[in-house]
């Protein structure tokens, strides 16, 4: 059975309260009109005769506008707006009915105004008082005492949700914020008690047990500084989702999560020309090769949201294809989706995919990428990265498709390894086919992707979970990083910018030392570098270099309409030389001759050091 307090909070009780306030407000308006003195008999009689009409009209308006459905515990500005609307509409309708019935005889002109004001106070006041009482009671609850970093919109939303949380897990004690105009002020009744630099001292002074980061728009440098202060404080800390989730209204207790390495290495959110992207991809038949990989699967997710006429997935790893196929069918039930299990180096498979789907736009993400492994697997690297690209690119040209976008890598620039050399040849394949073709062939080049399959982040996470050591090749090694969604968004943007033959270079920001990455991941796990989890330097692996580059000096980078994307002027070998080199690579594949393959790679890729 419901308790008395549950019955009082029911919609019927709320409607009963609102209806009861109507006669109180109506009679109070007459009483105020006569200066809180005795109401003359003729006016009191007119008020009582008009009261049933006013109650019916006002009750109907309240019911129609649904004021009784509002939860008093969460009463807010939109509720006040609905109450004001109900009061104004109800007052006007009541006056119209009374005017028709009695010409408003013995109803003073000031009464309607006083009635509206009294009704507004009587309807809104109890709601606000009830919310204040509940919020004050929560402030005295036994939840963990929390410091909220960031007194902006996200911090305000978080305080609201903390007070609504039935579990009362956290009690907001104060804010830390670097905006000087906020210091000493209150947000939702919670004071701003200091700056982020003072976090350790605030935690000790106020006996705080938890820090909640409500700074979704902070850049990487700001997050690193704030997290460093939180680590000094020695208490657990959590963060709200990124800015995109904040804009969607997803700041809540349930959304709080541990700070991740992506938060520390992340960059400013990317502003895309989604209208241009949709105009280039919406309603088109799109083929993605390597659709089950880290980049390929994220491309599929984002393309599916744009609304293609058909999305075709080509992938040789059965489980990866099954996983992305199941996810897309679940999240986009109306999407025209075709999945094909096959190898991009198989000409029959590729031709069948093009004949069946007649794709207009092709994203070629299929590639081998593990640098040390491919150093001893030259034939497989050439077969997948070069021959696979040629198969798909030639089919694209033969079927007069609109666009072909190659997903390349920074390791293709002055490569020190087989993987980078083969990806550079793949870029040259696109540039060679672009000459005189109706299809727009472009390549998109970027660096490491955080948390992609086989990358350093999941490796470090695994090593930390095992108690260490965390293995870093060299104290000075550094790499460019970006998140998988950001990389794919910029790929989509590049896809609609290219006119043919370009290499687009994504702005990767500043390179990150892998040593710093390892240290931060250890700290975020709650451990101390070297003390709890050792870091072991094992030396550069075969094919690795200390620094990666994003473009050749002779490529002459040029700006594009998007500030995060630059265009490199293609540097091509010449058609005859390139065709001869490709034929020799194919011959080396047939003969299983690694030495011949390396020799051709050396001739095609200037500066590649592995000639024999």
CA distance 401 to 441: 10
Q: Read off φ and ψ for residue 593, nearest 5 degrees.
A: -110, 95
Q: Look at 349 and 123; give whichever has higher pLDDT.
A: 349
CA distance 410 to 482: 12
Q: What's the whole-number mean pLDDT along residues 250-276?
A: 68
Confidence of residue 500 (pLDDT cuts 50, 70, 90): confident
- Residue 247 has a pLDDT of 43
- Residue 274 has a pLDDT of 83
- Residue 350 has a pLDDT of 96
- Residue 72 has a pLDDT of 45
Q: How far is CA 26 from the centre of its chain?
A: 52
* CATH code at 141-259: 3.40.50.720
Average pLDDT, the chain: 83
CA distance 174 to 497: 48
Least reliable range by pLDDT among 109-118, 325-334, 446-455, 559-568: 446-455
Q: How far is CA 187 from the centre of its chain?
A: 26
- Residue 137 has a pLDDT of 52
* CATH code at 274-604: 3.40.50.720
* Count of other CB atoms within 10 angstroms of residue 572: 14
Are 131 and 73 in contact by the 8 Å Cβ rule? The answer is yes
Confidence of residue 255 (pLDDT cuts 50, 70, 90): low
- Residue 571 has a pLDDT of 67
Is the N-terminal amide bond of 472 cis, ω within 30° of 0? Answer: no
CA distance 258 to 435: 50
pLDDT > 90? residue 363: yes
Nearest by Cα to 324 from 289, 348, 284, 369: 289
CA distance 529 to 534: 6
3-state percent breakdown (helix, strand, coil) of the chain, nearest 5: 50, 15, 35
- Residue 320 has a pLDDT of 95
Q: Which of 270-284, 340-354, 587-601 has the highest mean pLDDT?
A: 340-354
Domain residue spans of the chain: 4-136, 141-259, 274-604
Confidence of residue 80 (pLDDT cuts 50, 70, 90): confident
Which residues fall within 8 angstroms of residue 21, CB to CB, at 6 or more apart?
119, 122, 123
Show the 3-state SS of 129-169: HHHHHHHHHHHCCCCEEEEEECCCHHHHHHHHHHHHCCCCC
Show the 3-state SS of 568-580: ECCCCCCHHHHHH
CA distance 287 to 588: 29
CA distance 425 to 595: 17
Q: What tokens appear for 65 in the block?
A: 């506008």
In this structure, what DSSP letter does residue 240 have? -
Are 299 and 361 in contact by the 8 Å Cβ rule? The answer is no
pLDDT > 50? residue 8: no
Q: Does this chain's domain 141-259 share its CATH topology with 274-604?
A: yes
Are 498 and 440 in contact by the 8 Å Cβ rule? The answer is yes
Buried b (16+ CB within 10 A) or exposed e, 479-513: bbbbbbbbbbbbbbbbbbbbebbbbbbbbbbebbe
Are 196 and 179 in contact by the 8 Å Cβ rule? The answer is no
Are 487 and 295 in contact by the 8 Å Cβ rule? The answer is yes
């Amino acid at each position: 059975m419901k308790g008395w307090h549950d019955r009082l909070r029911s919609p019927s009780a709320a409607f009963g309260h609102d209806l009861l306030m109507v006669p109180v407000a109506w009679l109070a308006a007459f009483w105020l009109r006569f200066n809180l003195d005795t109401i003359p008999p003729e006016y009191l009689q007119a008020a009582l005769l008009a009261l049933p009409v006013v109650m019916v009209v006002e009750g109907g308006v309240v019911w129609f506008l649904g004021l009784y459905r509002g939860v008093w515990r969460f009463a807010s500005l939109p509720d006040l707006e609905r109450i004001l609307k109900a009061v104004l509409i109800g007052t006007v309708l009541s006056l119209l009915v009374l005017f028709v019935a009695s010409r408003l005889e013995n109803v003073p002109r000031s009464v309607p105004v006083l009635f509206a004001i009294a009704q507004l106070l009587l309807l809104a006041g109890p709601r606000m008082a009830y919310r204040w009482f509940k919020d004050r009671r929560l402030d005295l609850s036994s939840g963990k005492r929390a410091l909220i970093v960031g007194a902006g919109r996200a911090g305000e939303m978080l305080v609201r949700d903390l007070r609504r949380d039935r579990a009362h897990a956290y009690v907001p004690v104060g804010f830390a914020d670097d905006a000087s105009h906020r210091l000493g002020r209150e947000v939702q009744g919670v004071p701003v008690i200091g700056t982020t630099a003072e976090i350790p001292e605030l935690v000790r002074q106020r006996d705080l047990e938890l820090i909640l980061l409500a700074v979704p728009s902070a850049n990487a440098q700001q997050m690193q500084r704030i997290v460093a202060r939180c680590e000094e404080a020695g208490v657990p800390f959590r963060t709200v989702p990124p800015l995109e989730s904040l804009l969607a209204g997803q700041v809540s207790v349930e959304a709080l999560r541990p700070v991740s390495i992506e938060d520390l290495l992340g960059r400013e959110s990317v502003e895309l020309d989604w209208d241009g992207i949709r105009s280039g991809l919406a309603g088109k038949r799109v083929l993605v090769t390597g659709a089950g990989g880290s980049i390929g699967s994220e491309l599929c997710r984002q393309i599916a949201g744009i609304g293609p006429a058909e999305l075709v997935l080509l992938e040789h790893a059965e489980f990866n294809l099954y996983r992305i196929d199941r996810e897309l069918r679940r999240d986009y039930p109306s999407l025209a989706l075709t999945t094909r299990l096959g190898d991009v180096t198989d000409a029959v498979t590729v031709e069948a995919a093009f004949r069946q789907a007649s794709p207009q736009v092709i994203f070629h993400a299929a590639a081998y990428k593990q640098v040390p492994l491919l150093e001893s697997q030259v034939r497989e690297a050439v077969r997948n990265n070069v021959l696979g690209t040629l198969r798909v690119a030639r089919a694209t040209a033969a079927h007069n498709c609109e666009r072909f976008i190659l997903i390349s890598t920074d390791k293709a620039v002055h490569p020190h390894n087989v993987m980078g050399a083969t990806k550079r040849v793949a870029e040259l394949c696109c540039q060679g086919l672009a000459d005189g073709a109706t299809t727009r062939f472009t390549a998109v080049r970027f660096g490491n992707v955080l948390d992609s399959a086989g990358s350093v982040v999941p490796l470090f996470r695994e090593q930390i979970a095992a108690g260490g050591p965390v293995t870093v090749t060299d104290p000075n090694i550094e790499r460019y990083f970006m998140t998988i969604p950001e990389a794919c968004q910029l790929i989509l943007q590049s896809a609609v910018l290219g006119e043919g033959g370009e290499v687009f270079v994504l702005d990767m920001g500043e390179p990150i030392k892998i040593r710093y990455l390892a240290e931060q991941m250890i700290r975020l796990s709650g451990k101390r570098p070297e003390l709890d989890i050792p870091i072991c330097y094992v030396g550069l692996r075969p094919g690795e270099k200390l620094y990666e580059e994003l473009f050749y000096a002779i490529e002459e980078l040029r700006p594009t309409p998007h500030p995060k994307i630059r265009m490199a002027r293609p540097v091509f070998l010449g058609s005859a030389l390139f065709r001869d080199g490709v034929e020799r690579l194919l011959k080396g594949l047939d003969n299983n001759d690694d030495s011949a393959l390396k020799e051709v790679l050396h001739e095609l890729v200037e500066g590649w050091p592995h000639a024999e």
